[in-house]
Amino acid sequence: MKTYRELISNEEFFAAALMQVPIFVIDAIDESEVDEGGTVQQYTDFSVWIKGVSYPRHKHVFKVSS
């Protein structure tokens, strides 16, 4: 059984970008999966870029498999 850890802080996004781990993007409202398995290309306090797509941090949940 896989468990997932939610990325919240800039430090967690930085570590995920360095380690090139796959990030799962989940819609915060309906909890549906938006993107599976992309790596963090860039992040700010407002958005995260994965596979060339910008995801607003306040509208999505970002998880890694642990």
Of 38, 42, 34, 39, nearest to 59 by C-alpha is 34
Confidence of residue 10 (pLDDT cuts 50, 70, 90): very high
Cα of 2 vs its chain's centroid, Å? 17
Candidates 2.40.160, 1.10.3470, 2.30.30, 3.40.630; CATH matching 4-65: 2.30.30
What mean pLDDT do residues 8-36 have? 93
Q: What is the pTM of this model?
A: 0.88
Q: How many CB atoms lie within 10 A of CB 8?
A: 11
* Residue (of 63, 38, 32, 64) closest to 52 by Cα position: 38
pLDDT for position 30: 92
